Amino acid sequence: MKKKYRMIHDENLCIGCQACSVACRSENKVPDDVFRLQVRVKTEGVFPDLRMDMKRHSCVMCEDTPCVTVCPTGASFKTEDGLVQVDPKLCVSCKYCIVACPYEARFINPVTKNADKCTFCYSNRVSKGQDPACVTVCPTDALVFGDINDNTSEVYKKAKESTLVYPKAHLGTKPKLAFVPNKKGVSYE
């Protein structure tokens, strides 16, 4: 059976330390002033009744990919495993994929001048049987990655025990990045 990768970000375990973002920068040589992933911290409420939400912002690896559909050169493509990538040799920096991405996850790399984004470290780690860099450094295990079709995998187990939310699910892009929503802090019901 073909692998079906999934990443889950548990907002209840995330502490906003940015280790994932630093690991991504180091692993993928991401230039200053741009990012492939960030954890954005949103604080709500009034002291002492505060709630801090840690939201991962990166490519969500859509199954139905608007960025791939609009790419005129085939630079934006999906691997056999369904992960969205950019071939820098084919990219002409037209920015169609940037405009098409409803997650604002793409950018022009200031060094290469090509479209760039999170790749789940596909070519340098996942294709070699390793987890993405962000997952390996997370001190609280807030990130889980693997083959959702493998019922012995950690990502399968996490998906079974958790209520998952998919970003902008109403768009029908079918993201491979899911979230376990934050249940800590102030309740706004």
Q: What CATH number does the domain containing 82 carry?
A: 3.30.70.20
pLDDT band at 185 (very low <50, low <70, confident <90, very high): low
Range with lowest mean pLDDT among 28-37, 38-47, 128-137, 178-187: 178-187
User: What three-state secondary structure class fits 49?
Assistant: strand
Per-residue model confidence (pLDDT) at position 62 = 97
Number of domains in the chain: 1
Nearest residue to 82 via CA among 97, 106, 64? 64
Judge whether residue 187 has pLDDT over 60: no
Is there a domain that residue 186 lies in?
no
Q: Residue 48 pLDDT > 70, yes or no?
A: yes
| pLDDT value of residue 50 | 84
Residue 127 has pLDDT above 60, yes or no: yes
In a domain, 188, yes or no: no
Provide the percentage of residues in the chain whose pLDDT is more than 70: 97
Does the residue 50 lie in any domain? Answer: yes
Structural domain includes residue 173? yes
* CB proximity list for 11: less than 8 A, separation 6 or greater: 53, 54, 55, 142, 179, 180, 181, 182
Residue 188 pLDDT grade (very low, low, confident, very high; cuts 50, 70, 90): very low
- Domain, as residue range, for 149: 5-180
- Is residue 54 predicted with pLDDT exceeding 70? yes
Q: Is the pLDDT assigned to residue 186 strictly greater than 90?
A: no
- Let me know if residue 161 belongs to a domain: yes
Domain for residue 29, yes or no?
yes
Q: What Rg value do the Cα atoms of the chain yield, rounded?
A: 17
